[in-house]
């Protein structure tokens, strides 16, 4: 299992980065992205600390810990400078908190995030085919999520990605230890999103290829 979108107590998660990584390793994770929520108020604190802990854990443990951020509820005009700041600070994954159906995310966030070159557009809600096509062109992954308050649009995201040829990844958006999933449980979520067996395996392949490059 490779999970590129999780949270720790550096934002609104329950665990220290080291405990989250350890719990993930024990249930069979190969790699985990730690991508705490950020805007300008905390990005200067969060990014260097995640980078630091990732360096330490990768030195001693088998699981690969990838430092990142999830830019969350920020003005459209600030997405690009935040992406740049995160990358310059050492973030190897930049996730954007997409236009989920369950929160008042600013309209246009999906499109602007793709234009600014984030790596993953998380829980993008009723994403349009036009935006999904742009994601394909820019190499931005669309997320199928296992998080309960965001997964209502999974079938729509999967269908639009298929039409547009955009690549998918599956992430847990973990906030608590019980949110972590085995690979088999992840397969069930992907099946529930309407993906065929071949498409499910492609999703896992996408995550592995991304993680291997970080």
pLDDT in tens, 142-198: 999 999 989 999 999 999 999 999 999 999 999 999 999 999 999 999 999 999 999
Q: Which CATH number describes the domain made up of 2-212?
A: 3.20.20.140
Neighbours of 31 (CB within 10 A): 21
Q: Are strands 31-38 and 64-71 parallel, antiparallel or unpaired?
A: parallel
Q: Quick one: pLDDT band at residue 125, thresholds 50, 70, 90?
A: very high
Identify the DSSP state of 3: E
99 burial level (CB within 10 Å; 0-12, 13-18, 19+): buried
In this structure, what token pair is assigned to residue 129? 């085919």
Question: What's the pTM?
Answer: 0.97
pLDDT for res 127: 98
pLDDT for res 16: 98
In this structure, what token pair is assigned to residue 45? 């604190």
So where are the chain's domains? 2-212
């Amino acid at each position: 299992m490779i999970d590129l979108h999780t949270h720790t107590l550096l934002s609104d998660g329950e665990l220290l980065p080291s405990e989250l990584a350890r719990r993930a390793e024990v249930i069979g994770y190969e790699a985990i992205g730690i991508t705490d929520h950020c805007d300008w108020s905390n990005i200067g604190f969060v990014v260097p600390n995640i980078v630091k802990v990732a360096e330490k854990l990768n030195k001693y443990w088998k699981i690969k810990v990838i430092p990142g951020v999830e830019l969350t509820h920020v003005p459209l005009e600030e997405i690009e400078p935040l992406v740049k700041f995160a990358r310059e600070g050492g973030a190897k994954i930049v996730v954007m908190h997409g236009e989920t159906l369950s929160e008042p995310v600013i309209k246009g966030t999906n499109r602007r995030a793709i234009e600014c070159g984030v790596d993953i557009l998380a829980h993008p809600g009723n994403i349009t085919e036009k935006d999904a096509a742009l994601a394909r062109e820019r190499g931005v992954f669309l997320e199928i999520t296992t998080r309960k308050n965001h997964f209502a649009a999974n079938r729509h995201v999967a269908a639009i990605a298929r039409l547009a040829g955009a690549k998918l990844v599956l992430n847990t958006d973990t906030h608590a230890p019980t949110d972590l999933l085995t690979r088999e449980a992840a397969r069930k979520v992907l099946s529930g999103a309407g993906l065929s067996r071949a498409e499910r395996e492609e999703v896992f392949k996408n995550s592995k290829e991304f993680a291997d490059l970080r």
